[in-house]
């Protein structure tokens, strides 16, 4: 593939991935307006984050069907079309049921595109997987960051929060156009993908199989359960940040909604940098437990600071969450590969973490909303998120360096590995 073709394909991947978070991240800066207009409690408005997250897990098997039937290129395009249509329909959202329906449809579209995009990376960029995966991850993270920072000012400018939410359909249409134009560069013009083409995809933890595998998952493996626990907590923390950092800063931190959205954008932007920088600093082939422990502690400090003193040295807590959770996110994604003997085993561990992770990620923002309704503020909820983060040190401590944690792999594929796929 020429440099020009590679560049065009990378841009298309970046723009497509950038559509996988705005529909969720755009809700947080508008929570107050949505609650007032739709007469929702904090628990009710949390459903706008919970439902698409749950749909991303429930509809993931659909991605495998779409990929096999229509191929990777058209499969991703179908996902982007669903995202665009469901996002645009939010402009008519004067009722809670319509917004929740659109949220569910957006989650289904994200599930299709999100699961197939990493398969494209693995299928077409095997020799540049690190570079292209970094581009994909950056698009995923920055899409959420921009949506978090821009949506509230946009709603002020046009005088409509449904219009601001619906405006992200424009980005999805741009993604559709660029993805379609990149077909030749990606080499995905052919018909349906053969069975097994889309073997890896993104889940709550960032790395799952294109169609979640319900047969042969390592339910009896201690290391698989430790990785699943870390992945579930990692995903739960991410979606709680996306849903509730802005309301916390606005209500408990006494910041304007626009300013709170900007802080969330800064936090996610720092996370994107940390996602790439922390693993690079640790290097390849080294024991990652120290890095996992350090980033976990930083993340716990960030949540604890926002719980206890959201209006004091706020930038310090935002920076701790940015560096800590950004680095932690990527390090957790690498665990299935580090402990696995081959690609098939890594896929099985990742698929197990995929199922449990999305269930936790979907429920966590709802629980935070319920605690907010019960207590009147976010102090207890974010204190518990800090405790949950600190509890991750237990499975981290039980991870072992080297081969004593590696399961029995397929001898015919031993030694071959595949990198875990990213998701935000």
CATH code of the domain covering residue 338: 1.20.1250.20
* Residue 201 φ then ψ, to 5°: -155, 175
319 domain residue, yes or no? yes
Long-range contact set of residues 378-381: C-beta below 8 Å, sequence gap at least 24:
378/244, 378/247, 378/248, 378/251, 378/252, 378/306, 378/307, 378/310, 379/252, 379/307, 379/308, 380/307, 381/244, 381/307
Task: Kindly give the residue spans of alpha helices, DSSP state H, lying in 218-309.
Answer: 222-251, 257-282, 289-308
Write b or e for each residue in 72-111: b if 16 or more Cβ atoms lie within 10 A of its Cβ, otherwise e.
bbbbbbbbbbbbbebbbbbbebeebeebbbbbbbbbbbbb
pLDDT of residue 118: 66
Using DSSP, state whether 68 is helix, strand or coil.
helix
Question: What residue numbers bound the domain in which 240 lies?
Answer: 3-413
Low-confidence ranges of the chain (pLDDT < 50): 190-215, 343, 402-424
Provide the domain count of the chain.
Answer: 1
Closest CA to 308 of 255, 378, 366: 378
How distant, in Å, are the alpha carbons of 30, 69, 86 from that of 25? 10, 31, 15
Q: Are 154 and 62 in contact (CB under 8 A)?
A: no
pLDDT of residue 24: 87
Quote the crossing angle between the two packed helices 222-251 and 379-391, to the nearest 10°.
160
423 domain residue, yes or no? no
pLDDT of residue 132: 66
248 domain residue, yes or no? yes
286 domain residue, yes or no? yes
How distant, in Å, are the alpha carbons of 220, 282, 322, 358 from that of 59? 26, 35, 30, 11
User: Rounded to an integer, what distance in angstroms lies between the CA atom of residue 66 and that of residue 198?
Assistant: 11
User: Rounded to an integer, what distance in angstroms lies between the CA atom of residue 422 and that of residue 193?
Assistant: 22
pLDDT of residue 354: 67
Structure tokens at 259: 């300013």
How distant, in Å, are the alpha carbons of 71, 145, 346 from that of 172? 20, 16, 32
pLDDT of residue 298: 97
User: Rounded to an integer, what distance in angstroms lies between the CA atom of residue 315 and that of residue 262?
Assistant: 11
pLDDT of residue 210: 38
DSSP per position, 193-223: PPTTSS--B--TTS-B-SS---SS--TT-HH
422 domain residue, yes or no? no
pLDDT of residue 194: 41
Quote the crossing angle between the two packed helices 129-158 and 96-124, to the nearest 10°.
160
Q: Are 154 and 239 in contact (CB under 8 A)?
A: no
Using DSSP, state whether 167 is helix, strand or coil.
coil
């Amino acid at each position: 593939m020429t440099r020009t073709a590679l560049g065009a394909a990378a841009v298309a991947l970046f723009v497509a991935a950038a559509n996988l978070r705005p529909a969720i991240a755009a809700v947080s800066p508008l929570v107050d307006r949505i609650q007032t207009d739709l007469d929702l409690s904090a628990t009710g408005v949390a459903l706008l984050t919970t439902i698409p997250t749950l749909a991303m897990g429930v509809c993931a098997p659909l991605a495998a069907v779409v990929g096999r039937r229509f191929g990777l290129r058209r499969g991703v395009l179908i996902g982007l079309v669903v995202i665009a249509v469901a996002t645009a329909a939010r402009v008519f959202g004067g009722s809670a049921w319509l917004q929740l329906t659109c949220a569910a449809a957006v989650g289904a579209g994200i599930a299709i595109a999100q699961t197939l995009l990493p398969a494209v990376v693995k299928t077409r960029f095997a020799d540049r997987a690190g570079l292209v995966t970094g581009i994909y991850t950056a698009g995923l993270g920055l899409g959420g960051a921009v949506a978090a920072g821009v949506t509230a000012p946009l709603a002020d400018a046009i005088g409509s929060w449904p219009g601001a939410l619906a405006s992200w359909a424009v980005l999805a249409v741009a993604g559709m156009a660029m993805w379609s134009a990149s077909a030749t560069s990606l080499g995905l013009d052919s018909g349906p993908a053969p069975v097994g083409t889309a073997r890896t995809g993104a889940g709550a933890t960032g790395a799952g199989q294109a169609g979640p595998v319900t047969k042969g998952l390592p339910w009896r493996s201690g290391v698989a359960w430790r990785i699943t626990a870390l992945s579930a907590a990692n995903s739960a923390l991410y979606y709680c940040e996306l849903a509730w950092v802005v309301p916390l800063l606005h209500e408990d931190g006494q910041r304007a909604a626009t300013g709170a959205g900007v802080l969330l954008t800064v936090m996610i932007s720092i996370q994107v940098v940390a996602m790439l920088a922390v693993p690079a600093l640790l290097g390849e082939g080294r024991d990652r437990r120290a890095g996992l422990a350090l980033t976990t502690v930083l993340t716990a400090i960030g949540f604890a600071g926002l719980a206890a003193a959201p209006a004091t040295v706020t930038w310090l807590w935002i920076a701790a969450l940015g560096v800590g959770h950004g680095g932690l996110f990527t390090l957790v994604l690498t665990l299935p590969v580090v402990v696995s003997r081959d690609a098939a085993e890594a896929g099985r561990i990742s698929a197990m973490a995929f199922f449990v992770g999305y269930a936790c990620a979907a429920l966590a923002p709802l629980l935070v909303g319920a605690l907010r309704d019960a207590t009147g503020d976010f102090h207890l909820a974010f204190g518990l998120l800090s405790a949950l983060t600190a509890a991750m040190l237990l499975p981290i401590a039980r991870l072992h360096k080297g081969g004593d944690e590696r399961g029995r792999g397929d001898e015919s594929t031993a030694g071959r590995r595949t990198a875990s796929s990213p998701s935000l």
